[in-house]
Amino acid sequence: MKQYDVIIVGAGIAGLTAGIYLSRAGKSVLVFESGAVGGQIVSAVNIENWPGDFRVSGVDLMERVSKQAVELGVEVRYEEVTDIVKNGDKFTIVTDEEEYIARAVVIATGTEPRKLDEIRMKEAGERTISYCATCDGALFKGKPVAVIGDGNTAKHEIQYLEGIASKVYPVHWEDSIPEEAVAVFVAIGRIPRTGFLKELVDLDEYGYVVAGEDCRTSCPGVFVAGDCRAKEVRQLVTASGDGAVVSERVIKYLGE
């Protein structure tokens, strides 16, 4: 099995930022991604709050970041990590294809949309169900749609769709989906992708990895960065900030 100084799970902005810093520090770095490089931000059509890039798409931004990481020596593999086992002062990372060894691990798996329950799915019937208005909203231009949810995410989806759809119906938990709606946009929160970590690190009641601003978890040698960390603010810049912080902590850990 090939050994690396650091293995990073997740190729979003947090994971790639950490990879860039660590690679520039002379560490061998492998990043695993089970989906598309860039994480959830690639679905953003127009980002206006990333410093230095006014109105950049998520795809364009993350293509540049991933290219930068690879050119600096970061290796990226498209495999799903299913388990991480601590063996002394090293870790065995198990994927759906192979096993790898690392001296330190960074968890940067992000979050995923919370899905509709069976009752709501049945009510939606044959309507199109989407978890991303910026991804799929244009498909329903001039048509009535519904948005399920009560929080800030739902408000954002509604505002976005109001410029596209003929009518947007807000649907709260006690409401039924209007018959006129041809599509249902689900905005009921997100859940961290941390199910495979239950035996390795402490998670909070919602499944987020417990760690302070130093990004250190309950397991020495395992660090966390980005939206899957238990914290109050989850933005592109804070995820990138986590990546920078975690790299310094990893470098210190490897030197001890």
Enzyme catalytic residues: 132, 135-136
Distance, in Å, from the CA atom of 232 to the CA atom of 158, rounded to the nearest integer, reads 23
User: HSE of 233 in the Cβ direction (CA atoms, 13 Å)?
Assistant: 9
- Six token digits for residue 116: 């509709």
Nearest CA to 250 among 33, 1, 19? 19
Nearest CA to 206 among 240, 234, 186? 234
- Asked if 192 contacts 107 with a C-beta cutoff of 8 angstroms, the reply is no
Output the CA torsion 129→110→60→154 (10° steps): 40
